Amino acid sequence: MSDFERDYPDHTQAPGYQHGDEVPSNRSANRNFYQVMEARVARRQFLIGGLATLATGLIGGSLAPKPAMAKAATSSLLGFKAVPVSYQDKVVVPEGYSFQILGPTGTPISGDMPVSRPGANTGAEQEHQIGQHHDGMHFFPIEGSSNDGLIVVNHEYIEPRLLHAEKPGYKGQPIGTHSVVYDAEGRRDDDEVRMEIAAHGVSIYRTTRQADGTWAVVADPRNRRVTSGTLVELSGPVRGTPHVRTRFSPDGTQVRGTLNNCSHGVTPWNTYLAAEENWASYFSNTDKIDQKPDLPREHARYGVSTSPRGGRFGWHLAKSGADEFVRFDASAKGASPLEDYRNEPNAMGWMTEIDPFNPDAAPIKRTHLGRFAHEGVVFAPATAGGPVVCYSGDDSRFEYIYKFVSAGDFSPGQTDGAILDQGTLYVAKFNDDGTGQWLALAPGQNGLTPDKGFADLADILVNTRLAADHVGATKMDRPEWGAVDPRTGAVYFTLTNNSRRRPDQVDAANPRAANNFGQIVRWTYEGGDHTATRFAWDLFLLAGDAGNSKLADGGALNEDNIFACPDGLWFDAQSRLWIQSDMGDVGPDYDGPLKPFGMNMLLAADPTTGEVRRFMTGPWGQECTGVVTTPDGKTMFVNFQHPGAQGTGAQFAAGEFGSGFPDYNGSVPRSATVVITKDDGGVIGT
Ligand code: FEO
Ligand code: CA
Ligand code: CA
Ligand code: CA
């Protein structure tokens, strides 16, 4: 997440700016979601109400003002006592709940099971260990079990100083968050780069509940790492096209790695999709014309870095100059695209499918789902004989929400990922009156023609953002996760902030600078038909503190549930909505506008009553991301990513790492999964 960037010409100077964020790159004149929202507010049609009103009142545009409900009924879905806002460097769960740690960074899962040495492991070892910065995650039961399954977990990005804390150049040095060490020639150590590439990607490992009730990582032939160096197939309309031909893949069918895997999705055929979110800044394109950057539109619209070191870790500057590293230099260096890696960024920004039960199957990028900063993907419930529908947000400021509808029909037991290779990609337009439209991004539709610069379907997909600009999609405030209510079919999406106003513009009459705290939007369809191109939307809640928030019952958030910057979002089988906050690297010394909310947290909501309750808080510097339960709902897995990220360079030099989580033994903090159970053995949340 990050806040306020829109109002800062130099977005890196904005409060709340996170080193992981992409550079805003949408220069289109399309309307912003805040403009749409404010138009509704201005017309007193800002509806936060029940879904019945939403479905019946908004379709067709007849929207009656709705007074706030008197007081919400107490939810039968939420049976736990709220935990307070926390400023502690620890995990807090409600009374009657317990937790343990599972699979922190460095845990061996495959090969010769190299032992974890936090801060000292090699690249070769990391390739068989759980990666860093745990994010989206799913539990795939083995034979339906709630005691035995495969965890598949994304590793969004890395904290190099923690991966290398015990190595020369890092130990005892004032290394800031996100920084890497270059030698006197401006080159990087090969093994450090190899390790960083391996700490990205996805981990797949078996976990089993032991006799004493604890969960353990267990050896299994299906355990494997998919990293940002693993061979991946391209599939769908972009496969084999000139857009993705490189020195490594002259026929444009393969690429090495999936990159910056944020959230995920689970397909109706039980495979895993890993999203590629903030991938653009891993590349460097220094091509110039008249001393100015000269990037093709498929780089520029995504924010590919023009810095010689790129926007991240300078992997292309590894000392050896080996091909596996120089591919992150996207400059046109050779005589043709087959002699360099100018097209390498075109093979990133997709959804990557992984079959956790088939360790020999290469991951596959499904290009018909579009190319952007995919936060994740969520599928509508699939029905036999109908198309497959899924939704994905583009998490960068001013970007869009997309939907894919397959051409083929779902057939349980027969359908596989190939169904995602043909269909229609749409982008959302939100109207002021609470209705919305899905606009097709397809050749000849909505003005996407060759004379307007869109040669064919592959061209549209590689340039998804530009196509969405062209058709007039609504610019959203950083769409993060989506979730579909299993009971009603309503689709929920987190919008992590909506900062219209700078903090110094706040006055008594304009208190909505706190609107920077984000909101959750939801929509439904007439007849529950997810393939429909019209929908009805409202806001489920406005996050914030007691003076700057709104719940579905019309009331404000209170001490039991104030939170900001909704990010992770997941419905459990009983329709409990789990909400995770990502306020960035907040720690004990944080003193900005997000201070009232303490450390990042997990909350639960009842989508019917609108009630929200804080379930769990985490340690210093982390964000809370990735949540799933076993099928019986009795074991929950939650990730804490980047603990200690707020630690300064001076602290690092002194051997203070910003958090002790999860080992609390003086070694570097590590991202990890927290396993939560209820002491009475009941369903989590009850
Ligand atoms: Fe990776 Fe948008 O959070
Ligand atoms: Ca983050
Ligand atoms: Ca986020
Ligand atoms: Ca996220």
Strands (E), 378-473: 378-379, 387-393, 397-399, 401-409, 423-430, 435-440
Which of ligand 1's atoms lies nearest the C-alpha of 375? 2
Report the pLDDT value the prediction gives residue 552, as an integer from 0 to 100: 83
- Quick check: helix, strand or coil at residue 642? coil
Q: Which ligand gives the minimal distance to the CA of 584?
A: 2
Average pLDDT for 177-187? 97
Task: Please measure the distance between the N-terminal and C-terminal CA atoms of the chain and give it in whole angstroms.
Answer: 30
CA distance 658 to 660: 7
- Cα–Cα nearest to 437, from 471, 464, 480: 471
For the stretch 322-330, contacts whose Cβ atoms lie closer than 8 Å and that sit 24 or more positions apart, written own/partner, are 322/190, 323/247, 323/248, 324/197, 324/229, 324/256, 325/190, 325/193, 327/246, 327/247, 327/248, 327/256, 328/282, 328/283, 328/284, 329/283, 329/284, 329/285, 330/283, 330/284, 330/285, 330/299, 330/304
- Cα–Cα nearest to 465, from 547, 371, 384: 371
Q: Check pLDDT > 50 for residue 51.
A: no
pLDDT digit string, tens, across residues 499-522: 643 344 222 222 234 457 889 999
| Separation of CA 192 and ligand 3 centre (Å) | 26
Count of all residues that appear for the chain in the document:
686
The 10 Å Cβ neighbour count of residue 634 is 18
| Separation of CA 277 and ligand 1 centre (Å) | 7
Place of tokens 């409060």: 15
Report the pLDDT value the prediction gives residue 499, as an integer from 0 to 100: 64
Q: Which ligand gives the minimal distance to the CA of 275?
A: 1
Q: Check pLDDT > 80 for residue 328.
A: yes
User: What b/e sequence results for 97-106 when a residue is b if at least 16 CB atoms lie within 10 Å of its CB, and e otherwise?
Assistant: beebbbbbbb
| Separation of CA 162 and ligand 2 centre (Å) | 17
| Separation of CA 395 and ligand 1 centre (Å) | 6
Measured in degrees and rounded to the nearest 5, phi and psi for residue 125 equal -70, -45
Distance of alpha carbon 503 from the chain centroid = 27
Which of ligand 1's atoms lies nearest the C-alpha of 20? 1
- Inter-residue contact 260 to 396 (CB < 8 Å): no
Average pLDDT for 231-256? 98
CA distance 399 to 372: 9
Kindly report which listed range (119-123, 160-164, 323-327, 474-478) carries the lowest average pLDDT score: 474-478
Strands (E), 148-269: 148-155, 201-209, 215-218, 224-226, 231-235, 254-256, 261-266
- What is the chain's mean pLDDT, rounded? 90
pLDDT digit string, tens, across residues 96-131: 999 999 999 999 999 999 999 999 999 999 999 999
Report the pLDDT value the prediction gives residue 432, as an integer from 0 to 100: 81
Element (H, E) at 288: strand 288-289
CA distance 370 to 354: 17
Report the pLDDT value the prediction gives residue 31, as an integer from 0 to 100: 61
- What 8-state DSSP symbol labels residue 347? G
Q: What six digits make up the tokens of 378? A: 């969520």
CA distance 136 to 486: 19
- Inter-residue contact 260 to 395 (CB < 8 Å): no
Kindly report which listed range (41-45, 165-169, 290-294, 413-417) carries the lowest average pLDDT score: 41-45
Report the pLDDT value the prediction gives residue 4, as an integer from 0 to 100: 32
Q: Which ligand gives the minimal distance to the CA of 375?
A: 1
Q: Check pLDDT > 50 for residue 7.
A: no
Kindly report which listed range (61-65, 382-386, 443-447, 609-613) carries the lowest average pLDDT score: 61-65
pLDDT digit string, tens, across residues 534-563: 999 988 998 999 988 889 888 999 999 999
User: What b/e sequence results for 300-323 when a residue is b if at least 16 CB atoms lie within 10 Å of its CB, and e otherwise?
Assistant: bbbbbbbeebbbbbbbbbbbeeee
Which of ligand 1's atoms lies nearest the C-alpha of 277? 1
- Inter-residue contact 372 to 441 (CB < 8 Å): no
| Separation of CA 281 and ligand 4 centre (Å) | 17
Q: What percent of the chain has pLDDT over 70?
A: 87
Q: Which residues contact 600 (CB under 8 A, 6 or more apart)?
A: 580, 581, 582, 583, 586, 617, 618, 622, 623, 624, 640
Nearest CA to ligand 1 atom 1: 262
CA distance 536 to 431: 9
Strands (E), 43-120: 97-102
Kindly report which listed range (233-237, 325-329, 393-397, 606-610) carries the lowest average pLDDT score: 393-397
Report the pLDDT value the prediction gives residue 506, as an integer from 0 to 100: 27
Q: What six digits make up the tokens of 553? A: 């019952």
CA distance 338 to 349: 21
pLDDT digit string, tens, across residues 567-596: 999 999 999 999 999 999 999 999 988 999
Element (H, E) at 672: strand 672-678
Report the pLDDT value the prediction gives residue 497, as an integer from 0 to 100: 81
CA distance 150 to 129: 15
Q: What is the pTM of this model?
A: 0.92
Q: What percent of the chain has pLDDT over 90?
A: 82
Q: What does 237-267 look like in DSSP terms, one character per residue?
A: TTTTSGGG--SS-TTS-EEE---SEEEEEE-
Q: Which residues contact 361 (CB under 8 A, 6 or more apart)?
A: 354, 355
Q: Which ligand gives the minimal distance to the CA of 641?
A: 2
CA distance 665 to 677: 25
Pocket of ligand 1 (CB under 6 A): 156, 262, 277, 375, 395, 480, 567
Report which residue type is found at 522. R
The 10 Å Cβ neighbour count of residue 116 is 18
Kindly report which listed range (228-242, 350-364, 513-527) carries the lowest average pLDDT score: 513-527
| Local confidence band at 409 (pLDDT 50, 70, 90 cut-offs) | very high
| Separation of CA 584 and ligand 2 centre (Å) | 6
| Local confidence band at 83 (pLDDT 50, 70, 90 cut-offs) | very high
| Local confidence band at 456 (pLDDT 50, 70, 90 cut-offs) | very high
Measured in degrees and rounded to the nearest 5, phi and psi for residue 647 equal -60, 140
Q: Which residues contact 303 (CB under 8 A, 6 or more apart)?
A: 22, 23, 24, 25, 280, 281, 311, 396
Average pLDDT for 432-436? 88
> Alpha helices of 381-443 — where are they, by DSSP H?
none
| Separation of CA 496 and ligand 3 centre (Å) | 7
Q: Check pLDDT > 90 for residue 70.
A: no
Ion ligand 4, residue ranges at CB < 5 A: 480, 567
pLDDT digit string, tens, across residues 53-68: 443 333 333 222 233 3
CA distance 201 to 684: 29
Which of ligand 1's atoms lies nearest the C-alpha of 262? 1
